[in-house]
Amino acid sequence: MGNGSSFDSSKQVYLMINGSLEKIVFSLHSSTRDVQELICQAGKVNRFSQVTLRNVDGAYVTVSPTIPQNDENHAYIAEITPPNLTDVSVSNPSTDLVPVQIMEQLAREMSSRYAKPDEVNTGELLDRVKTLENRMDVEGLKAVDIDVCKKSIDTIKGQIYEAQKKFIDYNRLRDGSGLPEIGLPSKRGPSVPHYTKYILSKETIEYLKQPTFDIWHWEPNEMLSLLEHMYHELGLVREFNIHGVTLKKWLLCIQENYRNNPFHNFRHCFCVTQMMYGMIHLCKLHESISKEDIGILITACICHDLDHPGYNNTYQINARTQLALRYNDISPLENHHCAVAFEILSNPETNIFANCDTETFKRIREGITTLILATDMAKHAEILDLFKANLKEGNFDLTSREHFNSLKMVLIKCCDISNEVRPMEISEPWLDCLLEEYFNQSDKEKEQGLPVAPFMDREKVTKPTAQIGFIKFVLLPMFEEVSKLFPQLHSVMVEPLRKARDHWERLKEQDDELRHKQEA
């Protein structure tokens, strides 16, 4: 494992782009796409542009997080080719084009040929639109791109419909049977991008319920499918009468509203939700509480860090940011996460609770808000003390509103900071990501003359010192209390935490011995 005091989870790479020297910095846990987007951003071009790298010897270099680090004198030469629409026809569009640009092209073609509908090959156009919808999933467009494509698709479908009306019996069109698969826009609503639907094996379905689930092996589209599976498997789709397309739209919108931070990102959202899903099954909560409450627990986990900026509440307050001013220094981040969550749910196209009655939605909103606000670590002692007091009464009552609310708050807190429950090979990369985010904040605080927390200072923190106190004084006391109510969690959560504590204490002892030898 190496010396516990050393830490470097980011990489910096120098690039020569159009004669200008640029530097990009990215996490070792970034994806290939993250790196490519950074290069495009440095080159000030469309993020779907084609990127080719060569070293100083002219050899091609793979664009990925494993790219060898270099210096200014050995900068990689970046060749960036933006998508080009020149000489591309609708019947044979280039696969290199990004969906937004192809949609613009299709719209132009339809406009120019709409006066002669008999010349429009509607079958080809419909097939192309369907292909584009699939491409939009694979490319993972940003919300603004999705909106542009949706509008263009609606326009094109409307034009196709008008063209087909001239040649197909209108009675067949009226019920949608005259159009292949896509149907009439007026009857089925606007088409939406959808991510690839993965067929989950029985092994994966069972593995998904375990605290040992390795969240690093899954791509964004796969995580979306796994989250979608949870809503179906837990009976939430039926309970809330969620339309399948709405669920997909909502999940895509959620994903787009998580920033690309080292730690507080969409993968963290998935990680927390997966742990909650596992705890629901391990504790058999789905047998003892309502599906409405299950839905609140899962949805709160998915939304709990929406649009996290990568700087914590202390920074927001000390720097007097807009968030701190807006929420009067009271849990500014958690209040913001709630606001973003319900802004998304205010859109009919992404409101998974649209078919709930007013009173049900009011309970859901209250429940989700309470849980997201509970993830503020400033409230940790207060929430845990309340849960412990309820346990001490000797008869924890799930039918008691006070008891049940305290349990739900503790559960989401457990899931939010549960990384150390997982095997070391899964949890340690999360520690790297968290420290990277902490160090980014402390560097900024030093630049701005703001107070710096010792546990965020790269000059004072080591992995062992970061972990030991957190496990001993935050994680273990909380998980031990929860395991009193659910003894089945002791072997799968409490014991792994104790082993993790012992592991980091051994590393600290090694560090101390090495330091003493160096000082002697």
Residues annotated catalytic, as ranges? 264
* Long-range contact pairs involving 444-448 (C-beta distance under 8 Å, separation at least 24): 444/311, 444/315, 445/315, 445/318, 448/319
160 within 8 A of 122, measured Cβ to Cβ: yes
Residue recorded with tokens 């000030």? 44
Rounded Cα–Cα distance for residues 214 and 90 (Å): 43
Longest dimension (CA), the chain: 94
SS3 305: coil
User: In 417-451, which ranges are continuous DSSP H helix?
Assistant: 424-448
- Provide, for the chain, the percentages of residues in helix, strand and coil under a 3-state DSSP scheme, each rounded to the nearest 5: 60, 5, 35
E runs forming strands in 288-445: none
- One-letter amino acid at 446 equals K
Rounded Cα–Cα distance for residues 27 and 35 (Å): 9
SS3 92: strand
- Residue 228's alpha-carbon distances to 251, 270, 309, 386, in angstroms, are 8, 11, 26, 33
Beta strand 60-61 with 50-54 is antiparallel
Q: Could you tell me which residues come within 8 angstroms of residue 447 by beta carbon, excluding any fewer than 6 positions away?
A: none
Q: Residue 118: in which H helix or E strand, if any? A: none
Residue recorded with tokens 């949706």? 150
DSSP letter assigned to residue 420: G
Radius of gyration of the chain from Cα atoms?
26
Q: How many CB atoms lie within 10 A of CB 263?
A: 22
- One-letter amino acid at 266 equals F
- Closest by CA to 190, choosing from 404, 405, 348, 46, is 348
* Structure-block tokens of residue 414: 């457990």
Q: Could you tell me which residues come within 8 angstroms of residue 125 by beta carbon, excluding any fewer than 6 positions away?
A: 90, 106, 110, 156, 160
**C-alpha angle with apex 460: 454 to 461, nearest 5 degrees?**
85
Residue recorded with tokens 């990102």? 265
